[in-house]
Amino acid sequence: MVFIVVGLGGVTGSEIAPFVSSIVRELGGFAITIAILPFHFEGMRRMLRAREGLSRLFASSDSVILFPNQSLLGLLGKNAYLRDGFFLSEKRASCFIKSLMRPIVGDDQPGVRIDLADIMTILKTGKMGRIGMGSGRGERKWADATTEATQLLGGARIGNANGVIVLFESESEDDLSFSKLQRASFSVYEKIDPDTSLIYSLLTRKTTAYDVKSTMIAVFDVADMGSGL
């Protein structure tokens, strides 16, 4: 599994990333491209070039995960600089890769794990992945964390997803009890189509600022991209 992270909209990245992902596949690897899309104020021309790059990436990668910079605007203060935006954008991409790898390699954390084959099985259900993150506290924490994550999928509808990966993190080992795990998984099942493939992991970490955090990767056909780029 090889991650390729590219900021689309310029010339170099938009041209080279598809080339890199096709080499990865030729060598027998599984190419996951994290495609960062420009802020709207960078101009229409950049967005068009980014979309062209995206089409090439869909053809050359096993999976393309979209990270629209515009969706970060709400998190950036009014006086933020462009470099703060880029910093946040890079942080989001690296957090995502770490979250995805933690249930596989973070073996000192008690929890429900998944493996690389599980992840690839879900990513193969469609070409395009969108991510959402959420958090919750108290009685309704699972439902709240899941709902928040589904609302951040950028206009793509969770009901249209072919596959979903949910990475839960909880601060309490009690959440590994059968009844809590059921609540966690039901919070997702009630939002997806019965045909949608789902895997989830639940790791416990003493350090989470919320009771529960959820990172969701929903996999779609390219046609179901939704708005919100």
Ligand X SMILES: Nc1nc2c(ncn2[C@@H]2O[C@H](COP(=O)(O)OP(=O)(O)OP(=O)(O)O)[C@@H](O)[C@H]2O)c(=O)[nH]1
Residue ranges that bind ligand X, judged by CB under 6 A? 7, 9-13, 36, 38, 42, 46, 69, 86, 89-90
The tokens describing 90, both together, are 């890079």
C-alpha atoms less than 13 angstroms from C-alpha of 181 in its C-beta half-sphere: 13
Number of residues lying near Mg ion (CB under 5 A): 1
In whole angstroms, how close is the CB of 206 to Mg ion at the nearest point?
41
Nearer to ligand X, 58 or 189 (CB): 58
With CB under 5 to 8 Å by kind, the binding choice for 92 among ligand X, Mg ion, none is none
In whole angstroms, how close is the CB of 154 to ligand X at the nearest point?
16
With CB under 5 to 8 Å by kind, the binding choice for 89 among ligand X, Mg ion, none is ligand X
Per-residue binding letters, 8-37, with Mg ion (x by CB under 5 A): --x---------------------------
Strand (E) positions, 26-182? 31-37, 63-68, 111-112, 128-136, 163-170
With CB under 5 to 8 Å by kind, the binding choice for 58 among ligand X, Mg ion, none is none
Residues 6+ apart with CB under 8 A from 204: 109, 110, 111, 169, 170, 171, 172, 173, 175, 176
In Å, how far from its chain's centre is CA 13?
A: 20
Q: Sheet containing 63-68: which strands, arranged edge to edge?
A: 2-7, 31-37, 63-68, 128-136, 212-220, 163-170, 197-204, 111-112
With CB under 5 to 8 Å by kind, the binding choice for 11 among Mg ion, ligand X, none is ligand X
Nearer to Mg ion, 43 or 106 (CB): 43
Nearer to Mg ion, 10 or 226 (CB): 10
What span, in angstroms and rounded, lies between the C-alpha atoms of 152 and 133?
Answer: 7
Return residues touching Mg ion (CB under 5 A). 10
